[in-house]
Amino acid sequence: MRHFVGFLFGLVLGPLLVLASGWAFTHLRGLHTAGLGLLQGSGPLAVAGLVCVGLLVAVVAVAPRLTPMLPLGAGLVVSSLSGLSLWRVHLLERLPQLPGTEGALVLLPLGVFVPLVVVLVAPLFVGRRWRREEEGPTEEEYFAGLYEDGEDPRRGRAVTGSVPHTPRHRA
């Protein structure tokens, strides 16, 4: 179930990454045409947006406890949008005009998102991401701590003292 939910979140994350990058590109291009520097006008806000996109990609691609289907879903959406921008541009132009759409339509056919797609699809091939790590005590440690009087009824033998005996309080 976690893989399915992760894939659905990835399908939502992909367009958000493209729109945020397009939004930042539009602001930075406006600064360049006005002859302003990166730290003037809306430049710091656009850089902060790109930093947030980078951090989000890093967390999604690197975090070992997340399912690999999350970055795969985002990578599939971004690669599909890039391919669609080369193959059928008029379909992308019919999308609603959201903040960042204009910049995204400029960046998509340029292949700017290809490295992003590679980073997002790479966790799919890491075997440890498919298994959930089980934390907690082993079976022996669990039963040794459960029976304080030294008898393990499962095996009919005394448990060696790995857990110190503590007196129980009665109310």
pTM of the predicted protein model: 0.67
pLDDT in tens, the chain (171 residues): 888 888 999 999 999 999 999 999 988 888 888 888 877 877 888 899 999 999 999 998 888 778 888 899 999 999 998 888 888 877 777 777 888 888 888 888 888 999 999 999 998 888 776 676 666 666 677 667 666 555 555 555 554 555 555 555 555
Q: Note whether 83 and 92 are within 8 A (CB).
A: no
Amino acid, single-letter form, for residue 106: V
> 2-34 and 43-62 are packed helices; what angle lies between their axes, rounded to 10 degrees?
160
Chain center to CA of 24: 20
